[in-house]
A and B are shown apart, each in its own frame.
Chain A
């Protein structure tokens, strides 16, 4: 156990020592990773801030329930009863077809050619839960009541916004995946070059009894360190960029008497980003080590 720990400490020592000697190239690799990783990070900030804004908007979606023209009074009473007792309904307002007709006639000349009232009775329902899925479910339920001609959600723009943000989230995932491959390639190539330059050392070590694991270990640690370094570099870049933007955004928001500003990445997302970078670094170096070591089978 002590020996095992010793070997790992020793490998980390070797890696850090080599990185100190090649400090400039180590920092550059971390910076390349940082720049690559900060792109999806920034996009995430933009989308999550938009999401917050969308949540803050009091959209109050309303469901209009239009009844059939030939709905019987018992059916209307049943619907009224149903809506009154429904757990998802905050409030309801009944507008009879005659009321609506009067209202329309007063507002618009469109009714002039019409002899008969074409409008149905209607309920306007305020749901308790305003999330798009809940509103949707409610709408579908109302639609199924007997005597209902059409249930319709107003404020569909909110739904569209949410759909758009959903697309953005998917774009972030895809971008992260593509850039993830780029990072694996960067780290893999760096490690491969390191292995090649240390070929002599590896061969001698193998001749005098080094296990494959002993030889791999420093390279895997190097990849991991590059990953963590890249993750930290990305966070620093993101924070700098967001802070720079916030100067202008607070000025802009003041014009609207708002103290709005972009929020930074939450802590768990920051940790996740570093973890993501770490695993990419490890994966990249692991692939490089596996590929390159095959050539050194002494």
Chain B
């Protein structure tokens, strides 16, 4: 479904953000992208979602070479993805319903059909009762869930989330991870970038980035990382809390 072959990415006047990255993601997989901040997680996700083009190497999505795609075809490729951005990118001049409806409007779905699907998406993230609320009145976790509702409303085959639990406390974070899990169970390919190793589930594929290089692609690593960080977290709970404050 998604295949990276020797992909490098460099922005004008910057070092290489990604260096010779190669991997494959199958349909229906749930994959985590981890690494310290600045390791290139966001850039990797942008390349997958065709928001950026690689400097070299090939990115294949459903056997389509993104680098060779005409500019006019890019929007149609992007519609295959549901994107949850690090900074939500919600529109604060309209209510929750209108925010979630935006991808449907872009796809030309309007009227009752759109309303039905918007409510279904809001229901999935537990915000059905807030459809008339303005996003600014929502809590951080609710805004994140609203962003997820917008990402899934057009039933994308691939769901991509960049630090979806970034600024949330543990309770909200696990709520949100459960939502992603549920999508994974119904055959949606889910790709989540996170630095929060606690939220990583066992037996899932992990792409770990280090200074732009893919250091490990591992499923067992998940368990290892999880057990080590768990013990670390337990011992340093106090300090982490103060730090995050």
Same complex: yes
Q: Give me the interface of A with B, judged by CB distance under 8 Å.
A: 3, 6-7, 9-10, 200-201, 203-212, 214, 298
Q: Is B234 an interface residue (CB 8 A)?
A: no
Q: Tell me, in angstroms, the Cα distance from A298 to B227 when the chains sit together.
A: 40
Asked if A210 contacts B106 (CB within 8 A), the reply is yes
Q: Are B79 and A200 in contact (CB under 8 A)?
A: no
B78 adjacent to A209 (CB under 8 Å): yes
Residues of B with C-beta under 8 A to A206: 75
In the bound complex, how far is the Cα of B90 from the Cα of A200, in angstroms?
Answer: 9
- Cβ contacts A to B, 8 pairs, < 8 Å: A9-B110, A201-B93, A205-B102, A207-B51, A207-B83, A207-B85, A208-B83, A209-B81
Q: Tell me, rounded to whole Å, the shortest Cβ–Cβ distance linking B141 to chain A.
A: 20
Q: A209-B76, A209-B78 are in contact. Are A201 and B91 (CB under 8 A)?
A: yes
B62 nearest CB across to chain A (Å): 15
| Residues in chain A near residue B135, CB distance under 8 A | none
Q: Which residues of A contact B79 (CB under 8 A)?
A: 208-209
Chain B contacts with A in 53-98, Cβ cutoff 8 A: 72, 75-79, 81, 83, 85, 89, 91, 93
B105 adjacent to A204 (CB under 8 Å) = no
Q: Are B103 and A208 in contact (CB under 8 A)?
A: yes
User: Given B75, B89, B93, which contacts A209 in the complex, CB threshold below 8 Å?
Assistant: B75
B78 touches A208 (CB 8 A): yes
Whether A6 contacts B78 by the Cβ 8 Å rule is no
List the B side residues contacting A210 at CB < 8 Å: 75, 106
Question: Complex: how many Å from CA A210 to CA B103?
Answer: 8
Contact-residue bracket for chain B: 20 to 34
Is B12 part of the contact surface with A, judged by Cβ < 8 Å?
no
Give complex CA distance A207, B105 in Å.
Answer: 14
C-alpha gap A6/B103 in the complex (Å): 15
Query: Contact partner of B106 among A203, A205, A298, CB < 8 A?
Result: A205
The 9 closest A-B pairs by CB, nearest first: A209-B79, A209-B78, A211-B75, A210-B106, A3-B108, A209-B75, A204-B89, A7-B108, A6-B108
Given contacts A6-B110, A207-B85, 5 further A-B contacts (CB under 8 A): A208-B78, A208-B103, A209-B76, A209-B103, A212-B72
Known contacts A205-B102, A207-B51, A207-B89; is A10 also within 8 Å of B78 by CB?
no
Cα of A297 to Cα of B69 in the assembled complex, Å = 16
Q: Which residues on the A side are within 8 Å of B150 (C-beta)?
A: 208
* Nearest CB in chain A: distance from B193 CB, A: 16
Cβ of B49 to closest chain A Cβ, rounded Å: 8
> How far does the Cβ of A76 sit from chain B's closest Cβ, in whole Å?
82
CB distance from A204 to the nearest CB of B (A): 5
Question: Which of B51, B72, B81, B107 is the one whose CB lies under 8 Å from A298?
Answer: B51
Cα(A211)–Cα(B105), bound, Å: 12
Nearest neighbor of A204 in chain B, beta-carbon distance: B89
Q: How far is the CB of A156 from chain B (nearest CB, A)?
A: 65
What's the Cα separation between A6 and B105 when bound, in Å? 10
Choose among A10, A211, A214 the residue that contacts B110 (Cβ–Cβ < 8 A).
A10
Known contacts A201-B91, A204-B91, A204-B102: A211-B72 contact under CB 8 Å: yes
**CB-CB < 8 A to A214: which residues of B?**
75, 106
A194–B81 Cα distance when bound, in Å, is 29
Assembly CA distance A211 to B72 (angstroms): 7
